[in-house]
Chain A
């Protein structure tokens, strides 16, 4: 069981089946996998982030205020997602600069709902500050991409040290910036 496919291990863990080594992936881990693999490694070790970081504060505020009357928070095993009152899964982001990571985070929620709970839903990626919404559907192609990401995440978090720092355009606003580069 230990060297089984990470995707199967994740599913078994999520369904509460007995697993030698449970494997969990959160939505934010999927997002970090596409944003920065070093950040993903930090997240997997529960390294604290700087909560006073301006970008973190802004993101939290946007998330807390947008659609607050129409959203229902749903905790489901290893994921925590927001449902709109029309039944779609919504993921709120303060800006659309990093679209692919957000899309994949949402795709992971849809994939998880489908595979773990046998619930088929559509998603919507919302950028309330830009008054933009974007539908996200779980296509076969997206499903495969999600599973590839899960395997990739498994590889990263099982490394004993993080991938080396790599300068990216958004490093300056990252909550791990000083920790990463000091």
Chain B
């Protein structure tokens, strides 16, 4: 399966013959990185690169996802599209313009998102946590989802569900790591910082997945197009955040693999430091490589590939009119 590579140090990424080389600023050893089977590079440090590298990555259809100050997602440099399809984009826009069709897709996404949150809560409920009230709230939110509701109400239902869901974090996690309330820009404490970092990882992976199809990443259904740059990625990421980012967070914190020393706390903000980001991305990449038996493909697929399949499903729906059922964790 295609791999992601994360670069944390500062330095220079360059083409060296037919491979890639990382030259760190601190006179450390040069590192060679295999480009074969690379899906994307995630640049977390300050990295210099030139146009020669860009052409090379473009030829190999490898993306760069760039994270800036405080590890906010800064943007992506995507390979020039190998595949374009005007018809796909036309159908994408038509579905957006048709308010009934848009609501139907937005409702499917909210439904999947709530289902995947609920699966996490149910899992921890069975492990000595009393989360019945959260499950009830999530189920109540799920029953309110209806294709006839306007988008802002669907958004509201998801927000309500998320609020209930985040309540469970305080029980699932040890007492020294509490969420209390979801906040970002900047995250005020460790858990908020982990959620933000994880969500940006899911988001960037969805950008790559969408790019593998001819879907236009800016035309979305639940989120308003252009709200942020790749709003379709926000739509799809909502389905995968509980399955990928939150599970990694729970595991790392509950197993003490992440501790307070992995964060840098400044006035009003708390962010993962380099060691913390390394630990997190390692666990996250392992999560992406996990596989599950797919019910209709008759083979095992990786969690990463599930995001690609979600983009395929949406595209198939838009082009063929066959029903779109959002990704809902089935295992």
Binding site for B on A (CB under 8 A): 45-48, 51, 160-162, 172, 177-182
Contact = CB atoms under 8 A, between A and B. Distances in A.
Contacts of A160: 321
Given A47-B319, A181-B296, 13 more contacts: A45-B319, A47-B85, A48-B85, A161-B321, A161-B322, A162-B320, A162-B322, A177-B297, A178-B309, A179-B312, A182-B296, A182-B312, A182-B313
Nearest to A171: B298
A180 B320 CA distance: 11
5 contacts: A45-B87, A47-B319, A48-B214, A161-B321, A182-B296
B320 A161 contact: yes
B297 A178 contact: yes
Contacts of B322: 161-162
B83 interface: yes
A48 B297 contact: no
Contacts of B320: 161-162
A48 B87 CA distance: 12
A46 B312 contact: no
B316 interface: yes
The residue among B309, B313, B316 with the most chain A CB atoms within 10 A of its own CB is B316
Contacts of A180: 316
A48 B321 CA distance: 17
Interface of B: 82-83, 85, 87, 214, 296-298, 309, 312-313, 315-316, 319-322
Contacts of A162: 320, 322
B255 to A, nearest CB: 33
Contact of A182 (B214, B309, B319, B321): B309
Contacts, number: 34
Most chain A beta carbons < 10 A, residue from B83, B319, B320: B320
B256 to A, nearest CB: 38
Contacts of B319: 45, 47
Contacts of A51: 82
B297 A181 contact: yes
Most B CB atoms within 10 A — which of A51, A161, A180, A182? A182
The 4 closest A-B CB pairs, nearest first, are A48-B83, A182-B309, A161-B321, A181-B296
Nearest to B295: A181
Contacts of B315: 179
A16 B312 CA distance: 37
A178 B85 contact: no
A180 B321 CA distance: 13
Contacts of A179: 312, 315-316
A162 B83 CA distance: 21
Contacts of A178: 297, 309, 312
A19 B319 CA distance: 27
A46 B85 contact: yes
B197 to A, nearest CB: 29
Contacts of B87: 45-46
Contacts of B298: 172, 181
A178 B319 CA distance: 15
A126 B132 CA distance: 67
A172 B83 CA distance: 23
Nearest to A46: B85
A178 B82 CA distance: 19
B316 A182 contact: yes
A162 B85 CA distance: 18
Nearest to A48: B83
Nearest to B321: A161
Nearest to B310: A182
